[in-house]
Amino acid sequence: MADAAPQRITDIGPPDFQQFLPPVVKANYGKWKYHEIVEPGVMVHVAESGDELYTIRAGSPRLLAIDTIRFYADLADKYCDGHLRFTSRHNVEFLTTKKENVAKIRAEIEANGNPVGGMGRSITSIVHTQGWVHCHSAATDASGVVKAVMDEVIDYFKEEKLPAKCRIALACCLNMCGAVHCSDIAILGIHRKPPRIDHKNLDKICEIPNLSASCPTAAIRPATVEGMPSVEVIEEQCMYCANCFTVCPAMPIADPENDGVSIWVGGKVSNARSEPQFSKLAIPFIPNNPPRWPEVTEAIVKIIEVWAANARPYERMGEWIERVGWPRFFKLTGIPFEKEHIDDFKHAGLSFKRSAHLTHEA
């Protein structure tokens, strides 16, 4: 076909990462010997060849305008021969073989408002979701809560003064884009009211069998309402997970007065010392209080301070709680223990205290 349109390019995949590696990385690929944190937010990797690579890690808001990315690019040109990377927790890292550039990079990135830190026994950037900026199912905002929390704990980002690392994550609904359920501190947006049913449109925009099947507690049943095929919700069986809304827009669940955040603690993904574990419920509900969510930030600062004051070196939040027991956690943090803390979903009994291993005060 002589007049064929130009080939449309598809399925090429991402660029081969090799083309983006700094020369020192290429030369020492897989041959790094050790690393050390030389100052907060700066580490040096030393290769078996003796080559050194300095990394300067800076916090970022994750939500970036292209002008800010261009600023990062300019900085990389100026000091890093055009090389940089990002971390799994949204930090930006500048990579250089020149020790003398470290202080200059730090000065310029800090002048732009990006703190240097987030390494070792610190709080690094909060992994989070889109919230009201871009998500249809959010029970709270993400970026705003994160900004408010990081403003309060930034000293723990800039200095290594905690017993161990502390990973904070936020998800604005139970879908949890990101691994918040295994974080030292997880902030989780929750709904607390069953979905409203738009009977008029439901059958037009949703498949009723799929909708019924979407409910983990079988609370949604097909029903005819005013002659129209629709569903009914057994409200006492609803735990507001919003999975129905995800499969059917005619089941809106967001509600300004009933939505808010819950706080979970003690999870981890690393295998170091103890096995990876889920975060557990610390505070069942805090109402949304934009723009700064002061009750949330206050609770988180308190939890961090109590852990920092009581944990042994290298003890993550969950490891400390495991050692001293949950009664002590609730006592020291002053968080009231309520009915909601006791599991009543599947296999709930596994979380009950099934021994006499308790601490007592004389």
Residues 195-224 within binding reach of another protein (CB under 8 A)? 210, 213-214, 216
Contact 341, 329 (CB under 8 A): no
Alpha-carbon span 339 to 39, nearest angstrom: 45
Long-range contacts of 322-327 (CB under 8 A, 24+ apart): 322/266, 322/274, 324/359, 325/358, 325/359, 326/280, 327/358, 327/359
**Least Cβ distance, residue 51 to another protein (angstroms):** 11
Question: Within its chain, how far is the Cα of 308 from the centroid?
Answer: 21
Which of 56, 60, 187, 231 forms a contact with another protein (CB under 8 A)? 60
Strands in 52-58's sheet, in edge-to-edge order, are 32-39, 42-47, 52-58, 92-96
Under the binding rule (CB under 8 A), the answer on residue 313 touching another protein is yes
Under the binding rule (CB under 8 A), the answer on residue 5 touching another protein is no
Region from 100-108, 223-231, 284-292, 351-359 binding another protein, contact rule CB under 8 A: 284-292
Under the binding rule (CB under 8 A), the answer on residue 55 touching another protein is yes
Strand, helix or coil at 176? coil
Which of 49, 98, 99, 151 forms a contact with another protein (CB under 8 A)? 151
Under the binding rule (CB under 8 A), the answer on residue 144 touching another protein is yes
Helices (H), 139-257: 143-158, 199-205, 208-213, 243-247
Under the binding rule (CB under 8 A), the answer on residue 147 touching another protein is yes
**Least Cβ distance, residue 362 to another protein (angstroms):** 27
Q: What is the DSSP string of 40-58?
A: TTEEEEEETTS-EEEEEEE
Contact 90, 60 (CB under 8 A): yes
- Cα angle 337, 182, 299; round to 5: 40
Under the binding rule (CB under 8 A), the answer on residue 62 touching another protein is yes
Under the binding rule (CB under 8 A), the answer on residue 192 touching another protein is no
Under the binding rule (CB under 8 A), the answer on residue 30 touching another protein is yes
Under the binding rule (CB under 8 A), the answer on residue 20 touching another protein is yes
Contact 138, 151 (CB under 8 A): no
Under the binding rule (CB under 8 A), the answer on residue 64 touching another protein is yes
Interaction with another protein in 102-131: which residues (CB under 8 A)? 113-115, 127-131
Region from 229-237, 262-270, 299-307, 322-330 binding another protein, contact rule CB under 8 A: 262-270
Under the binding rule (CB under 8 A), the answer on residue 50 touching another protein is no
Under the binding rule (CB under 8 A), the answer on residue 61 touching another protein is yes
On the 0-12 / 13-18 / 19+ scale of CB atoms within 10 A, 302 is: middle
Under the binding rule (CB under 8 A), the answer on residue 63 touching another protein is yes
Helices (H), 181-325: 199-205, 208-213, 243-247, 294-310, 317-324
Give the total of residues touching another protein (CB under 8 A): 117
**Least Cβ distance, residue 66 to another protein (angstroms):** 4
Region from 61-69, 221-229, 298-306, 353-361 binding another protein, contact rule CB under 8 A: 61-69
Under the binding rule (CB under 8 A), the answer on residue 226 touching another protein is no
Which of 23, 49, 82, 204 forms a contact with another protein (CB under 8 A)? 82
Which residues, listed in sequence order, are joined to residue 153 by a DSSP beta bridge? none
**Least Cβ distance, residue 223 to another protein (angstroms):** 21
